[in-house]
Amino acid sequence: MITVLSSCQEERRVDKDLNGRVQSVDRAMILLEVLGGEASGQRLTDLSRATGLSLTTVHRLLTTLEQRRFVHFSAADSLWRIGPQAYAVGSAFVRDRTFVAPALPYLRRLRDQTRETANLGVVEDGEIILVNQITSREITRAISRVGGRTPMTASGMGKAVLSCYSPDDVSALLRRRGMRRITRKTLTSRDALERELADARVNGYSIDDEEFLTGLRCVAAPVYDSQAEVVCAISVSGLPARMTPERIPSLGRLLVDTAAELTRALGGTPPQPA
């Protein structure tokens, strides 16, 4: 007997790939990620090119997302942008992190004391996610947008967190994520990383010397919870012309002191020396 699938049954069957994911949902998420990476908006043809999806598929998915207010189309410039509902859902991630709001005054103070951009990051799936940022009033570049991801081994905040990990945990991360070169200064060997992590453990702060973004330096320190486990990291970032090698130690001491204050404000405690 031959079984004939209805059009709806066939669509549901085709809509799942071999990994059990729903293909249309997966494609919609890819579109949101691409749109989220470009604040100025993107044209339909640009989105098709960036995702590898046909114009018809992209338009159909965007229309559905627009009806749910996850994206917005501007007829004035024919550009698609992230919509308010995407922000509302994304901010739930930040609300779930109880340290984000208490960290805000410390970030503002860091920005004012250093005149550089102050950042707050958390580990998620082996990467650093920027969850808050107070931008410098000077001409500067940001390490990332809020919500952006950075490899831990190429990030000041990432290395600050890694300096608190056991050797086995560092090895597990490297096996899963590797050490991909991003700029000519990106660390790509385990030995080089271990030297920097050793320095971070001694000094209490870590450095990103244009390893993720050429023309940007970063100094970071870890923040701990009540179990003396690292919960997040804070940093300041700025242009190398301002964040000179001579200035790094004083910035590092300021980050260590501020991270210690934030740790206490969160009811945390730093780990005891071995």
Question: Under a CB-based contact definition with an 8 Å cutoff, are residues 124 and 183 in contact?
Answer: no
According to DSSP, residue 26 is labeled: H
pLDDT of residue 205: 97
**Alpha-helical regions (H) of 68-189:** 84-95, 100-114, 156-162, 167-177
DSSP H or E stretch at residue 223: strand 217-224
**Residues 152-170 pLDDT 10s:** 999 999 999 999 999 999 9
Q: Using an 8 Å Cβ cutoff, are 61 and 73 in contact?
A: no
| Cα 122–chain centre separation | 8
Fold of 97-265: Beta-Lactamase (3.30.450)
For residue range 46-61, list pLDDT tens digits in order.
888 888 899 989 899 9
Short-list 137, 152, 132, 146, CA closest to 208: 152
| Confidence check: pLDDT of 4 > 60 | no
| Tokens standing for residue 192 | 């080089």
With a cut of 60, say whether residue 120 has pLDDT above it: yes
Residue 161 is encoded by which pair of tokens?
A: 């967190």
14-88 topology per CATH: Arc Repressor Mutant, subunit A (1.10.10)
pTM: 0.69
Domain regions of the chain by residue span: 14-88, 97-265
